[in-house]
Structure 1
Amino acid sequence: MTNREQEILDLIKKNPMISQNELGEILGITRSSAAVHITNLVKKGKILGKGYIVQDNPYVTVVGGVNMDIHGVPKNKLIPGDSNIGSVRMSLGGVGRNIAENLVRLGIETKLISVLGDDMYGSKIIEESALIGLDMKDSLILKGESTSTYLAVLDETHDMSVAISSMDIYERMTVNFIKEKKHVIDNSRLCVLDTNIPAGVIEYLLSNHRSTDFFLDTVSTAKAKKVKHLIGNIHTLKSNTIEVESITGIEIKTEDDLKRNCDYLMNKGVKEIFITLGKNGVFYCNQTTMNHIKADNVKPVNTTGAGDAFMAALAYCYLNDIDINESAKIATAASVVALSHENTINPNMSVENIKLKVKELELC
C-alpha cells in the first residue's frame, strides 16, 4: 500500500461518508486521482466497495481441499475381501474445509479458498458453509466438474482401514487463479495450507507472500514432499511421523529421533513444530521448548477429523498469543473433542468445550 493510499484509508476510517471531492481537497489532489486510489484500495481488500466499508476484522485464510466424506463402519470385526454388514454415513470433508469449519466454530472469521464442481456435492458444501458463516466467495467453482470425494472404510475400532480419494479437481487450481487472491492472503492474520493443492500453487504462495505467516498440514507422505524444498518458509508445521520423515529423511523410531527431526526443521527456519503420534500424543518444539504430552483413556468414535481440529486449535492459539505449551494442550483437547463424535466435525466444537476437555484430561 502506498503512502497516499494510507492517507486516504486513514481519512475514510475517520469519516466513512467522506466524498471523493472532499478527499481531493484535503490531500491537494483531483477527484479523479482520489477515485483511482480508492479503486486500488478496493482491489487490495482494504475497503469493501461502495460506502467505504473498511476491512478491519481480523480473519484467517485457509487454502486447501474440500470434498464429500463417505465413511463405512462394520457392525462386527472387519473382514477384508468380504461384504461387511454395517453402516454408511456421508458428511462434508476435506482437510482445508474441516480446518476452516473448526475455526468458525472457535469464533474466528475464516475465508476458504478451494476448488469444487457445480454438482450436488459442491452445492451442498457451499450451502452448508453459508449456514455456519464460513466465507467461500473466493473459491473456484467449475461447471460440469465433480467435487472431490473421499471414501473411507473404518474397522471395528473406528480406525481407518483403507480409503480412496478422488481429488483430481484440485489440479485445476492454478497459479494464475491464486494470484487473483493476493489481497485476501495479504490481509490475513495467518494462512493455513494443506498439501492437497498443487505444488506450484504452494510454491507461489510461500515464495510471494513473505509477510504472511503460513501454517501447514502435510496431509500425507506423498503430498508432504511438495514442500520439502520450501519448508523454511513455514511458520508452524503440523505433521505425523511418516510425513515428517518424508521431508527430513530422518527415520523416527525413538524420542531422540523426534528431537533430531525438530532440530532439522528449526534449522531450516520453521518456527513451531507439532508431530502428532496418534494414541501416543504429540511431540512439539520451538527454539526454546521441546516437549511431549499425551491424553490418556481416550476412546475414539471417529478418528477422521482429529488432526484438522488440532490444526484449527493451533491457529486459534496463535491469534490469541498463547504459548506453545498451552497451545499443545488446547490442540490435543480439540482433537479429543473431534474424535468423540461420529461426524468428521463435532457440532459441539467450541472454545468452552475444549477448555473443559483440557481439565478433564488433566492436561492443565
Structure 2
Amino acid sequence: MTLREKEILSMIKKNPMISQQEIADYLGITRSSVAVHISNLTKKGYIKGKGYVLNEEAYVTVIGGANVDIQGFSLCKLKLNDSNPGIVKVSAGGVGRNIAENLSRLGAKTKLISAFGEDLYGDKISYECRSAGIDIDNCLVLKNLPSSSYLSVLDENGDMKVAISDMDIIDYLNIDFIKAKAHIIENSSAIVIDTNLSQDLIEYLLSNFRYKDFFIDTVSTAKANKVKDLIGYFHTIKPNIYETEELTGIKIIDNKDIEKAAEILLNKGLKRIFITLGERGVFYKDEYTQKYVSSPNVKVVNATGAGDAFMAGLVYSYINDMKIDDAIHFSMYAAEMALSHENTINPNISAENIFKKMRSE
C-alpha cells in the first residue's frame, strides 16, 4: 500500500460517508486521482463494494506446502525389506495445507498460498481445500509441473517409519509471486509458514512484513536449518526435540537441556516456544512463564497429523485471545483428535468439540 493510499484509507475509516471530492480537497489533489487510489484499494482488498464498505473480516494466511499424501498402514508388525499386508489411503496433505484445513474446520477464516499443478493430484488438492472451506484463490497453479506428493509407511502402532517427499513445485512459489499477494499478507490476523518454502522466500516474508505475527512449523530437522538464523523474527515456533537440537546446537538429554534450549531461542527475540515432547506432552516458555503440560491419554490411530493440528490450535487460540493455559490445552486436544482418527485430519475437529472436551476435564 502506498503512503497516499494509507492516507485515503485512514480518512475513509474515520468517515465511511466521505465523498471523493472532500478527500481531494483535504489532500490537495484532484478528484480523479482520488478515484484511482480508491480503485486500487478496492482491487487490493482493502475496500469492498460501494459506499466504501471496509473489508475487515479477520482471517489467517498460511503459506506453505500442499500435496497429495499416499499413506500405507501396516496391519501387522512391520517387516522391512518385505511386502506387508495393510491399507493404502490417498488424501490431500502438506504441512501448510493441513494446518490451513485444521484452522478452517476450527472455524477460522483461512487463506492458503501454495503451489500445485493442473493434474489429478492438483484437482484433489483443490477439491479437498474448497470442501473444507479454505480460500485457495491466491494459490499458484502450474500447467506443466506435477503436484507435490508425499509417500509414507506407518507401522502397526500408527507411527511413521519412512517417507519420501516430492515437492519440487514449491520452489516456484517465489518472491515475485508473493509480492503480488502483499495485500493478503498485510491484512492477515496471523501468518503461518512452513519450512518447505525456500530460505530466500522466508527471509523476504520476515523482513518485508516484520510488523506481522508469524508462526513457523519447522517440519523436519533438515528443513529447520533454514530458519536457524531467523528465529528472532517469529512470534511463535513449535519444534520437536530433534528440531530444537538443530536450532540451538544443544544435545537434549533431560529437562534442563530443554529449558536451556528454549531460553537460547527466546533470547534471540522469539516471543513463544512450544517444544513438543511426544507422549510426554509439551514444554512451553515465554518471557514470563515456563511449564510442562502432559498429553491426554489417547489410542494412536495415525500419528502423522498431530503436529499440524497442534499448530492450528495455537493459531486459533492466539487470534481468539485465549489465555496461555487454555491455549495449550486447546491445542493438545486438537492434536488428540488428529491422533485418534485414521485420516491425517480428523473431519470431526471443531472448536465446539474441543471446548466440550476441555469443559469435561
Q: Which residue of 2 aligns with 1:129?
A: 129
Verify: 1:333 aligned to 2:333, yes or no.
yes
CA displacement at 1:52 relative to structure 2:
4.4
Equivalent pairs, count = 360
Pick closer, same or farther for the CA change 1:50–1:80 going to 2, 3 Å. farther
Question: Helix, strand or coil for the counterpart of 1:207?
Answer: helix
Distance in 1, matches of 2:340 and 2:118, equals 32
CA displacement at 1:321 relative to structure 2:
1.3
Distance in 2, matches of 1:277 and 1:23, equals 56
Pick closer, same or farther for the CA change 1:5–1:229 going to 2, 3 Å. closer
**Superposition CA RMSD, Å:** 2.0
CA displacement at 1:177 relative to structure 2:
1.2
Q: Which residue of 1 aligns with 2:216?
A: 216
Letter in 1 for 2:294: K
Distance in 1, matches of 2:226 and 2:197, equals 10
Letter in 2 for 1:11: I
Contact 2:296 2:336 (8 Å CA) reproduced: no
Question: Helix, strand or coil for the counterpart of 1:229?
Answer: coil
Distance in 2, matches of 1:77 and 1:248, equals 36
Contact 2:306 2:338 (8 Å CA) reproduced: yes
Alignment of 1:229-248 (within 5 A): 229-248=229-248
Distance in 2, matches of 1:78 and 1:215, equals 35
Letter in 1 for 2:269: G
The percent of aligned pairs where both chains have the same amino acid is 54
Q: Which residue of 1 aligns with 2:138?
A: 138
Distance in 1, matches of 2:58 and 2:314, equals 16
Contact 1:151 1:164 (8 Å CA) reproduced: yes
Contact 1:119 1:147 (8 Å CA) reproduced: yes
Contact 2:232 2:268 (8 Å CA) reproduced: yes
Pick closer, same or farther for the CA change 1:260–1:80 going to 2, 3 Å. same
Q: Which residue of 2 aligns with 1:11?
A: 12
Pick closer, same or farther for the CA change 1:23–1:349 going to 2, 3 Å. same
Pick closer, same or farther for the CA change 1:49–1:178 going to 2, 3 Å. farther
Distance in 2, matches of 1:145 and 1:312, equals 29
Alignment of 1:236-315 (within 5 A): 236-315=236-315
Pick closer, same or farther for the CA change 1:343–1:233 going to 2, 3 Å. same
Superimposed CA distance per residue, residues 252-293 of structure 1 (whole angstroms, 9 cap, x where no aligned partner):
110000100110011001100000011111111101111111
CA displacement at 1:358 relative to structure 2:
3.0
Q: Which residue of 1 aligns with 2:36?
A: 36
Under a length normalisation based on structure 2, what TM-score does the superposition of the two structures give? 0.94
Question: Helix, strand or coil for the counterpart of 1:73?
Answer: strand
Contact 1:8 1:23 (8 Å CA) reproduced: no
Question: Helix, strand or coil for the counterpart of 2:238?
Answer: strand
Letter in 2 for 1:334: A
Verify: 1:179 aligned to 2:179, yes or no.
yes
Where structure 2 has 5 or more consecutive residues not aligned to the other structure, the ranges are none
Contact 1:237 1:272 (8 Å CA) reproduced: yes
Question: Helix, strand or coil for the counterpart of 2:335?
Answer: helix
Under a length normalisation based on structure 1, what TM-score does the superposition of the two structures give? 0.93
CA displacement at 1:56 relative to structure 2:
0.8
CA displacement at 1:222 relative to structure 2:
0.5
Q: Which residue of 2 aligns with 1:60?
A: 60
Distance in 1, matches of 2:31 and 2:148, equals 48
Contact 1:148 1:166 (8 Å CA) reproduced: yes
Question: Helix, strand or coil for the counterpart of 2:253?
Answer: coil
Verify: 1:201 aligned to 2:169, yes or no.
no
Letter in 1 for 2:214: F
Verify: 1:149 aligned to 2:169, yes or no.
no
Contact 1:20 1:31 (8 Å CA) reproduced: yes
Distance in 2, matches of 1:254 and 1:239, equals 16
Distance in 2, matches of 1:184 and 1:296, equals 37
Contact 2:16 2:52 (8 Å CA) reproduced: no
Distance in 1, matches of 2:157 and 2:9, equals 60
